[in-house]
Amino acid sequence: MTAHRLAAVIPVKSFSYAKQRLQPVLSGSERRLLAQAMFEDVMDTLTQCRALSGVYVMTSDPEAVQLAADRGVNTLHDPIIGGLSGAVASAAQTLKSVGFEGMLVVPADVPGIDTRSVDRIISRHGAPRSVTLVPALRDGGTNAMLCSPPDVIPNCFGHNSFRAHCQLAASSGAQLNTLSLPQLQYDIDRPLDLLSFLQQESPTRTYRFLIQSGIADRLRQTSRSVFSLASTFFPYAEQTPAISSIHKG
């Protein structure tokens, strides 16, 4: 696909209401700042990709609009009705109407994304009618989707959407490409996702925020305490289930 025909879209919820499933471990202000940091990481990476001729932010959040404007990134108004799928569908129609042949959708909560990962997605993408998907590691979701044309299939982002998107691509007759990318396997929705993200140091705003705010130390201490308690009552328990119990608050 020629670079001047490809645009990326980042759907962004209101920062004030983002990441509700992190309530057991993060305050409201911490969740807002985390969502903002992740969004900036995704946006900064996409704007550095030479294979993209445009980056668009789909949002109704004033802070997100300003952050995009500061970087010269275009914004599309989120219709709100229809949720994430409605926002992506609206973006697809807009991009198609102005002549883009392909649309790369990247959620705003995959801060590990880097330009090499984006380049790999684009290089895997081929035929004029194609869908290229990157799955999430934990919930069967979709952490990146490249479609040509932008509306080649309806989208259904969320739990188990990867399988659904594969089925939609097959039924549409589009060429389906899939690839797993370590930098895109974690979308941060739950406490365990934060712990997984923190296992490897990164130059991202998100990692820096988690360290400097003290959240990282707090989460690690909590995970150790939970594991220690679990080991007392269940001496043969594995570590992963113990850490997972943080989800319950």
Same domain as 46, residue 115 = yes
pLDDT for residue 81: 56
Same domain as 161, residue 75 = yes
User: In this structure, are residues 159 and 139 in contact, taking their beta carbons and an 8 Å threshold?
Assistant: yes
* Domain stop point among 128, 155, 184: 184
- Segment 220-232 mean pLDDT: 57
**Edge-to-edge, what's the strand order for the sheet holding 6-12?**
74-77, 54-59, 6-12, 102-105, 142-148, 130-135, 175-178
Residue 107 has pLDDT above 70, yes or no: yes
Same domain as 197, residue 110 = no
Same domain as 224, residue 105 = no
Same domain as 222, residue 117 = no
User: In this structure, are residues 61 and 116 in contact, taking their beta carbons and an 8 Å threshold?
Assistant: no
- Segment 31-60 mean pLDDT: 97
* Domain stop point among 155, 184, 213: 184
Q: What is the CB neighbour count within 10 angstroms for residue 138?
A: 15
Same domain as 151, residue 122 = yes
Same domain as 36, residue 65 = yes
- Per the structure, how many domains does the chain have? 2
Same domain as 180, residue 64 = yes
Residue 109 has pLDDT above 80, yes or no: yes
Residue 70 has pLDDT above 60, yes or no: yes
Residue 238 has pLDDT above 60, yes or no: no
Residue 2 has pLDDT above 70, yes or no: no
pLDDT for residue 244: 34
Phi-psi category of residue 40: left, alpha or beta, with phi > 0 → left and psi -120 to 50 → alpha: alpha
Confidence band, pLDDT 50/70/90 cuts, at residue 100: very high
Q: For the segment 138-173, what is each residue's pLDDT rounded down to a tens digit? A: 888 999 999 999 999 999 988 889 999 999 999 999
Residue 178 has pLDDT above 70, yes or no: yes
Work out whether strand 142-148 and strand 130-135 pair parallel, antiparallel, or are unpaired. antiparallel
> Mean pLDDT score of the chain, rounded to an integer?
87
Same domain as 213, residue 91 = no
Same domain as 244, residue 143 = no
- Short-list 98, 92, 176, 94, CA closest to 130: 176
* Domain stop point among 165, 184, 203: 184
- HSE toward the beta carbon, residue 244, CA cutoff 13 A: 6
- Segment 45-72 mean pLDDT: 96
Work out whether strand 6-12 and strand 54-59 pair parallel, antiparallel, or are unpaired. parallel
SS3 state at 134 = strand
- Segment 20-39 mean pLDDT: 96
pLDDT for residue 74: 95
Range of the domain at 218: 191-248
Same domain as 209, residue 171 = no
Confidence band, pLDDT 50/70/90 cuts, at residue 245: very low
**141-145, 190-194, 205-209, 239-243: least confident range:** 239-243
- Segment 36-41 mean pLDDT: 98
Q: What is the CATH number of the domain that holds 126?
A: 3.90.550.10
**6-15, 62-71, 176-185, 216-225: least confident range:** 216-225
Same domain as 83, residue 125 = yes
- Segment 180-184 mean pLDDT: 93
